[in-house]
């Protein structure tokens, strides 16, 4: 009968789709659909199976949402001691009350306490400790077999190599948790990748997955990964613990990081309140989370409740309201950046997401548009997470899509009409005209930025007018502006014009390192700029260096050397630099006794116990190098030095994206070479 056959066909189709997307997500780390869409498919299958019991396969093939062929090439398979299950999920309070009612049908009259933990959007891992030593770590894989990523996990600073405290004495211990990236650290990573011309990651989860799947763990080591643990993979009857909360406490005492947001909730109402509080705070927590996980606290109850083929009966993911919405793309706009990069973004029908009206979304680059196959007129799902610019998650399939013309990058710059091209090996298209007004504007803004020449009041409105009215064509022109000219700009009163004039003139003595960074040479970030400045000490000497000599400097790669050499070889750049010298811009840097000044102007924060230094010794070492030690971590902190058992300052550093050095790195920094 058709009615009987239809659900069976649909269930098969859904399982196939889910297996396919599981494979893309867990094994290749390259999801093609959003989590929300995946949940829709999964929930549809679950509903079908609930309505038609005969559809549930009698084998355990459905264990952990369908067995995917687990391990990608190049990583050794690791069989988990017990399956890493997924979680059932709920999106409303009714769902949650039904979750407790289901437990009560198995355990009539029981009362439940819950542990609430944020559901972090990262990559699930299983770690094995033997006699307190970290010996093996694996991805979740298909839930039964994952990939051995021990070497990459060892690079995560917050993951203890050795346990102390109550869990250290176990001969064999498997713990599970989530590797994730703080939002600020993720943003900084993407900026760094873009600076060296590499593709940015779409979201923190992809960045984590990509980092953990590196063959070369020195790359992983440079990625700002963090971890929290939330599960002990053992039959509770074989452990001394009576509750999940006790396990989390034992984790903490043993050195395994647990979420500081975890809470013990006395009953279901308290758990629901926890969910509400976390949802209100979701954009302040500092990492991506789409809900909370609620787990029955009592381990005896857990044993009695057991598992379905998909998930434990005693835990549930209570999702937050979606930060996604559907809208239509009305226009694809191209912006031109400082290095001439043509960046597409989409104008969309205004739509409200989590309290904000969204009318523009980033589209990253031409490859991303091609991957999503977004065309003007298409219906898309957009997502807004934290303070990040909203992005397109996926296109909603429509029959009309095929009749819409595919997007093509323009052959000419939309601002100056210059020829647009795509350099070999890059994802980005560029305007070839160096005098392109859009590029000049972006370059001037970069030149005056806080970390560059730090010219206060040189904002976008001012720069636009200076370029549009032909008052400034290059950096040197800035220093020839007088107060009268500046006061003639719109919305710039005499007093503001005077302040801007003083700020420009006052920026002449920033030194060679910041000047080099301000020039906006491709691939030359703050670090490379300061290496050049330290090595040569003056523009004159730097200028005379060959590409080979530049590349020979420790820390300077061939691509940076080539870009710098090319920059200095261009007549136009030589002319501008000569004019800047004429107006008195400092192009030297104190390199004599450079070691002593290594930390000049830098602010450091110490946390935890250093083995080789007392606090006073560490402080003295920093001061000797020109640095300053302060007590609290802020965005202005340059480094946090973390010894053993670092405190909340360590967490602050991770949250704010401040680089953290361990004792070995600190020692190297302050010692004589």
CB of 424 to Zn ion, least distance (A): 20
Whether 597 contacts 590, CB under 8 Å:
yes
Question: Torsions phi, psi of 524, nearest 5?
Answer: -90, 95
Contacts of 480 (CB under 8 A, 6+ apart): 583
Question: How far apart, in Å, are the Cα atoms of 532 and each of 406, 517, 591?
Answer: 45, 10, 11
CA 288 to chain centre: 9
Nearer to Zn ion, 463 or 531 (CB): 463
Nearer to Zn ion, 413 or 516 (CB): 413
CA distance 176 to 78: 14
CB of 421 to Zn ion, least distance (A): 11
CB of 472 to Zn ion, least distance (A): 17
DSSP 8-state class, residue 24 = I
Nearer to Zn ion, 204 or 418 (CB): 418
CB of 517 to Zn ion, least distance (A): 23
CB of 516 to Zn ion, least distance (A): 24
CA distance 598 to 246: 46
Whether 284 contacts 180, CB under 8 Å:
no
CB of 622 to Zn ion, least distance (A): 46
Whether residue 119 lies in the annotated active site: yes
Angle of helix 204-212 versus helix 183-195 axis, rounded to 10: 70
Nearer to Zn ion, 153 or 436 (CB): 436
Contacts of 442 (CB under 8 A, 6+ apart): 336, 337, 338
Query: Out of 46, 119, 473, 636, which one is annotated catalytic?
Result: 119
Task: Report the interface residues with Zn ion, using CB under 5 A.
Answer: 413, 415-416, 418, 431, 433, 436
Contacts of 489 (CB under 8 A, 6+ apart): 462, 465, 466, 497
CB of 614 to Zn ion, least distance (A): 58
Nearer to Zn ion, 431 or 587 (CB): 431
Question: How far apart, in Å, are the Cα atoms of 629 and each of 317, 572, 602, 622, 636?
Answer: 43, 43, 9, 7, 12
Place of tokens 């305007």: 431
CB of 437 to Zn ion, least distance (A): 7
Whether 152 contacts 214, CB under 8 Å:
yes
The tokens for 48 are 């079908």
Nearer to Zn ion, 446 or 514 (CB): 446
Nearer to Zn ion, 415 or 587 (CB): 415
Q: Considering only CA atoms, which of 413, 449, 453 is closest in space to residue 432?
A: 413
CA distance 601 to 249: 41
CA distance 191 to 391: 17
Nearer to Zn ion, 570 or 648 (CB): 570
Active-site amino acid positions: 119
């Amino acid at each position: 009968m058709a009615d009987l056959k239809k659900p069976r066909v649909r269930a098969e189709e859904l399982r196939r789709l889910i297996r396919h997307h599981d494979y893309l997500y867990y094994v290749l780390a390259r999801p093609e659909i959003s989590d929300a869409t995946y949940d829709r498919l999964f929930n549809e299958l679950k509903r079908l199976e609930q309505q038609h019991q005969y559809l549930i396969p009698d084998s355990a093939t459905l264990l952990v949402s369908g067995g995917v062929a687990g391990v990608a090439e190049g990583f050794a398979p690791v069989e988990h001691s017990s399956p890493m299950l997924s979680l059932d999920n709920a999106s409303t309070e009714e769902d949650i009350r039904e979750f407790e009612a289901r437990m009560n049908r198995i355990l009539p009259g029981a009362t439940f306490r819950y542990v609430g933990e944020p559901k972090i959007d990262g990559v699930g891992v299983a770690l094995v400790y033997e006699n307190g030593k970290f010996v093996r770590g694996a991805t979740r894989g298909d839930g039964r077999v994952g990939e051995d990523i021990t070497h990459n996990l060892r690079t995560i600073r917050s993951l203890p190599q050795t346990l102390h405290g109550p869990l250290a004495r176990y001969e064999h211990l498997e713990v599970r948790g989530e590797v994730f990236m703080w939002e600020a650290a993720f943003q900084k990573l993407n900026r760094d990748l873009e600076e060296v011309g590499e593709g940015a990651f779409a979201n923190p989860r992809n960045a984590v997955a990509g980092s953990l799947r590196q063959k070369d763990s020195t790359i992983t080591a440079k990625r700002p990964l963090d971890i929290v643990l939330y599960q002990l993979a053992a039959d509770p009857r074989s452990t001394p613990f009576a509750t999940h909360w006790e396990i989390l406490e034992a984790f903490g005492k043993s050195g395994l990081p647990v979420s500081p947001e975890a809470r013990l909730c006395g009953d279901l109402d308290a758990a629901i309140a926890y969910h509400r509080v976390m949802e209100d705070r979701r954009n302040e927590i500092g990492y991506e989370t789409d809900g909370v996980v609620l787990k029955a606290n009592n381990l005896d109850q857990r044993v009695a409740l057991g598992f379905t083929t998909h998930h434990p009966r005693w835990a549930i993911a209570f999702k937050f309201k979606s930060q996604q919405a559907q809208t239509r793309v009305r226009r694809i706009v191209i912006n031109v950046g400082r290095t001439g990069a043509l960046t597409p973004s989409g104008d969309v029908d205004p739509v409200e997401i989590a309290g904000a009206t969204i009318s523009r979304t980033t589209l990253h680059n031409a490859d991303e548009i091609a991957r999503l196959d977004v065309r003007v007129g298409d219906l898309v799902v957009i997502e807004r997470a934290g303070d990040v610019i909203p992005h397109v998650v996926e296109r909603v399939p429509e029959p009309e899509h095929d009749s819409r013309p595919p997007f093509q990058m323009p052959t000419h710059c939309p601002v100056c009409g210059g020829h647009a091209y795509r350099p070999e090996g890059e994802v980005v298209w560029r305007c070839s005209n160096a005098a392109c007004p859009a590029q000049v504007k972006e370059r001037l803004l970069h030149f005056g930025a806080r970390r560059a020449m730090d010219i206060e009041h040189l904002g976008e409105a001012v720069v636009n007018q200076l370029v549009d009215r032909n008052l400034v064509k290059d950096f040197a022109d800035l220093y020839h502006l007088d107060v009268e000219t500046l006061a003639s700009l719109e919305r710039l009163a005499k007093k503001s014009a005077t302040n801007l004039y003083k700020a420009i003139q006052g920026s002449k003595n920033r030194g060679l390192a910041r000047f080099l960074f301000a020039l906006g040479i491709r691939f030359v970030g703050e670090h490379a700029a300061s290496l050049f400045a330290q090595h040569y000490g003056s523009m004159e000497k730097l200028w005379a260096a060959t590409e080979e000599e530049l590349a020979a400097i420790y820390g300077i790669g061939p691509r940076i050397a080539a870009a710098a050499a090319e920059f200095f070889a261009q007549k136009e750049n030589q002319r501008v630099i000569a004019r800047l010298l004429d107006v008195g811009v400092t192009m030297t840097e104190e390199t004599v006794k450079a070691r002593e000044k290594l930390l000049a102007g830098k602010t450091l924060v110490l946390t935890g116990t250093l083995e080789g230094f007392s606090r006073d010794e560490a402080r003295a070492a920093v001061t000797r190098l020109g640095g300053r030690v302060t007590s609290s971590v802020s965005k202005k902190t340059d480094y946090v030095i973390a010894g053993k058992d670092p405190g909340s300052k360590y967490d602050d550093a991770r949250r704010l994206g401040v680089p953290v050095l361990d004792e070995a790195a600190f020692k190297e920094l302050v010692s004589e070479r």
